[in-house]
Structure 1
Amino acid sequence: MKIDLHSHTTFSDGQLTPAELVMRAQNMQVDVLAITDHDTTAGLDAAHDGVAAHYPGLQLIDGVEISTHWHSFEIHVVGLNIDRHNQTLQAFLQVQQQKRDERAAKIADKLAKCGFEGTLGRAKRYARDGQITRAHFARVLVDCYSVTSMETAFKKFLGKGKRAAVKAEWASIAEAVEAIHAAGGQAVLAHPLHYDITTKWLRRLLTDFKHAKGDAVEVVFPTANPAKQQLLFELVDEYGFLASAGSDFHMPGRWTELGRCGLKSDTLTPVWHDWALTPVLSSER
């Protein structure tokens, strides 16, 4: 059974619409897909419509990826199996979206001082109806200002400590977990090896996530170093978290693809261990 619990659409920084994403999941023979856009659930209705109309065998999990502030780091917490209509969660996400808009305006001001005028309007056009993210600004720099790649845009301008970096005042980890639980979901610490922290700080992060009543940790995701991933497996087992896995899919590419990051472990309990999942029959594909 192929399970992918981390993906994005055009409603945040993904490049496929919800309908296109569920179609690609079907083509990649994914059985269970979670859509986890940044600080919004706005794409979920369209995704459900697409599944109901064309791919009834695909099991769609309602999700969200919430940005949080922890010490000097931006930590992401994924919510799985949420009630996307929950008023407490939606009120929380509205505040997050306002903070995201405020950060975007500040990023545009800093980019203007770097010689890149008019980036906010262009980034909003890339974002369309979705959440504006740093990735949209990176695309603007690549497409309109001759920056060589998205990676270069972050390394030179948008990454932590760079000239156009802006630290948003996100919610705390505990507040994010509380909002996810209010919506009946499970809180998952996303891609913990991406935060460029030492083992000591990783333990501190896991300890704080445990105190915040987090449920699971994403242990399988793209580009994870095998040795560090093994350490993460051991720590998740030690701390008693459930385990999650996802491609963090944004667009088709060499390094990421839907369904490619499966969980293989004899010791960890999957976050989906008590979900009502039904394998897709080959005739349904």
Structure 2
Amino acid sequence: MKIDLHSHTHYSDGHLSPKELVDRAHNMQVDVLAITDHDTIDGIQTAIDYQSQQKRAMQILSGVEISTSWHNFDIHILGLNVDHTNAQFLARLEQQSQERDRRAQQMSDKLAKVGIANVFEDAKELAGVGQITRAHFARVLVQRQVVRDFDSVFKKYLGKGKKAHVKPKWISIEQAITWIHDAGGKAVLAHPGHYDMTTKWLKRLVAEFADSGGDGMEVIHSHLTPVRKKLLADIAAEHDLQASSGSDFHYPNRWTELGKNLTLPEQLVPIWQDWNLVSQ
């Protein structure tokens, strides 16, 4: 069974609609797909309804990727198999949306001071129905040819300490875990191999995540070396965390694909071990 527990739609910083994402997952022969947009679950019901009309069986899991703050790092926590109709959960996620808009407006104000006007408006238009993210700001600046590529945007304007950086006021990891558990889901530390921190700090992060009641971590995600994969597997085992895997798919490209190379190490317990993964 091909399982991918991390993907995005245009409701956050993905480029595909929920229906387009489902179609691509079918093309890649995915059997179980979790949709995990940033701080929103708006696209999930559309995907579930669309999947119910398909001939090929595939299970859509309700998910979300919640932004948190930890020792000056932005840490993402996946909520997997959450109840996407839970009123309390929806209200809590709305707090995150409001913080996104506040931060985005401040970034736009800072960009205006260096001569780059109205970025918030253009980024909001790009985001459409979705959450506004720094990726939308980056796309605007690249389209305007202010910079050459995404990396240059963050190195010059949006990265920590740069001209238009605004420190977010996200919730804590503990709060995110509580929100997820209250919505009936499992809390998973997202893409731990991608955070710009030393191994010492990574181990501290995982330890505190586990101590706070976290359920699992992504030990397989995109762009990991064999050495990094082994490190993540060893850290997960040390803290008795269940293992998850996800492509973190945002749009079709040559580096990341739905369901590709996501096999978990055999010694770890899958995050889905207690779920009834019966294809719809």
> Is the structural similarity TM-score above 0.5?
yes
Give the SS at the match of 1:69.
strand
Partner SS state of residue 66, structure 2: strand
State the 1:146 CA deviation. 3.8
**CA shift digits 1:151-174 (9 cap, x unpaired):** 221222112222211111000000
Matched with 1:149 is 149
Structure-2 residue corresponding to 1:200: 200
Structure-1 residue corresponding to 2:63:
63
Greater Cα shift, 59-68 or 82-91: 82-91
Residue 100 of structure 1 is matched in structure 2 by 100
Residues in 1 aligned to 2:55 and 2:172: alpha-carbon distance in whole angstroms: 37
| Unaligned runs of at least 5 residues, structure 2 | none
Q: Which residue of 2 aligns with 1:283?
A: none
**CA-CA distance at 1:55 after TM superposition:** 5.0
Worse-matched range after superposition: 61-70 or 197-206? 197-206
Hey, what does 2:182 align to over in structure 1?
Answer: 182
For residues 211-250 of structure 1, what are the structure 2 equivalents within 5 Å?
Answer: 211-250=211-250
Q: In the alignment, which residue of structure 2 is the partner of 1:254?
A: 254
When structure 1 is superposed on structure 2, of 145-154 and 247-256 the one drifting more is 145-154
d(CA) in 2 for partners of 1:112 and 1:222?
35
Aligned with 1:106: secondary structure? helix
TM-score (norm 2): 0.97
Q: Is the 8 A contact 1:26 1:55 kept in 2?
A: no
2:67–2:170 CA contact under 8 A, matched in 1: yes
Matches within 5 A, 1:77-96: 77-96=77-96
Structure 1 counterpart of 2:199, one-letter code: T
Q: Distance in 1 between matches of 2:124 and 2:279?
A: 39
CA distance in 2: counterparts of 1:141 and 1:179, whole angstroms: 34
Alignment partner, residue 26 of structure 1: 26
Aligned residues: 280
> What's 2:40 paired with?
40
| Cα 1:124/1:279, change in 2 over 3 Å | closer
Corresponding letter in the other structure for 1:262: L
- Taking the aligned partners of 1:67 and 1:56, their CA distance within structure 2 comes to 33
Q: Is the 8 A contact 2:14 2:249 kept in 1?
A: yes
Q: Which residue of the partner structure matches residue 7 of structure 2?
A: 7
Identity of paired residues, percent? 53
CA contact (8 A) 1:246 1:261 kept: no
Moved more, 199-208 or 97-106: 199-208
Is the 1:245–1:261 Cα contact (8 Å) retained in structure 2?
Answer: no
1:39, 1:67 within 8 Å by CA — same for their partners in 2?
A: yes
Q: Flag the 1:55–1:117 CA change in 2: closer, same or farther, 3 A.
A: farther
* 1:75 to partner: Cα distance: 0.2
User: What SS does the aligned partner of 2:52 have?
Assistant: helix
Unaligned runs of 5+ in 1: 281-285
Contact residue 86 and residue 183 of structure 1 kept, 8 A? yes
Distance 1:279 1:92 in 2: 30
Partners of 2:126 and 2:136 within 8 A in 1: yes
2:227 and 2:113 map into 1 onto residues whose CA distance is: 41
